A = this chain, B = another copy of it.
Amino acid sequence: MAKKKPTILVVNDDGITAPGIKVLLEEMQKIGDVVVVAPDSPQSGMGHAITIGRPLRLDKIDLYAGVEMYKCSGTPVDCVKLAVNKIFKGKKPDLCVSGVNHGLNYSINVLYSGTMSAAVEGAIEDIPSIGFSLDDFSHQADFSHCRPYIRAIAEQVLENGLQKATLLNVNFPHHSKEIKGIKICRQATAKWFEEFDERVDPYEREYFWMTGKFQLLDKGEDTDVFALSNGYVSVVPTQFDMTAHHAITDLNSWTFNVANAK
């Protein structure tokens, strides 16, 4: 008996017309039945935002022949929620893949990234989920070297499943680098040092453009940043339990002077 093809939800944060999502849906079509739900406009940096004060639109569109696609007026997380509820109607897909993002989502970027938040939402929905990102911000980024890895990683996740309440954060080196292989990593400690470009508008009012520099604060050789800078595809198992379990004992030794504060 032929094995039933898996159903695969494809999402992103760069918007439905981004080249990165086309690469991802094409690779997924080789292994499953694909449904694409993506924002109707770029949603980079949206993190885990959801739309609660405004109504949402979800419209079927024909962008690529033979692909079931929907554009959504909301955030990447909204896309996953609408897909699960209004398209799959509770019969969950076998896999949720997000990306391929134009730009890296390693290290601390996992928090800011709409691509990764969509994958996190997939995992919250108990769907094996993977976020893919490439070290190239450009619209014309070359994703060709990512293709075999995307499929190999997706196939392994479909075959093995993922541990409960975890997902994968996958980042690819730039096309100009030769890929040495895949490394399982931890999220590197890092932060963005913001710089605000200060300007004055035509009405004499001040405004800012946020820019920033990524600063690595981690010398570990087991991090995603280290792996990528050495030519590997980084794979970080990611979880959404944000409890700092190791800090509980310490906090239990504290005495809160609530009476004194009254």
Contacts and interface: CB of A to CB of B under 8 A. Distances in A.
Interface of A: 42, 44-53, 55-58, 75, 77-78, 81-82, 84-86, 108, 110-112, 117, 120, 124-125, 147-149, 151-153, 155-156, 160, 162-163, 165-166, 182, 184, 186-187, 189, 191, 194-196, 199, 205-210, 235-248, 250-252, 254-262
Contact of A208 (B82, B149, B235): B82
Contact of A45 (B51, B55, B149, B206): B51
B242 A149 contact: no
Nearest to A251: B184
Number of copies: 2
A248 B52 CA distance: 36
30 contacts: A45-B51, A47-B50, A47-B77, A48-B49, A49-B49, A52-B210, A55-B199, A58-B206, A111-B124, A147-B261, A148-B258, A149-B258, A149-B261, A152-B258, A155-B257, A155-B261, A165-B189, A165-B244, A166-B244, A184-B251, A186-B245, A186-B248, A187-B241, A187-B243, A189-B241, A237-B247, A237-B248, A238-B242, A239-B243, A242-B242
B244 A47 contact: no
Contacts of A45: 49-53
Nearest to A223: B243
Given A77-B112, A152-B260, 5 more contacts: A56-B208, A58-B208, A160-B254, A163-B250, A237-B244
A232 B239 CA distance: 27
Given A186-B243, A237-B243, A156 B47 contact: no
Contacts of A75: 49
Nearest to A126: B191
A258 B56 contact: no
Contacts of A162: 247
Contact of A156 (B147, B182, B256): B256
Contacts of A186: 241, 243, 245, 248
Q: Which of A56, A111, A153, A245 has the most CB of B within 10 A?
A: A111
Given A42-B53, A247-B162, A256-B182, A152 B237 contact: no
Nearest to A124: B191
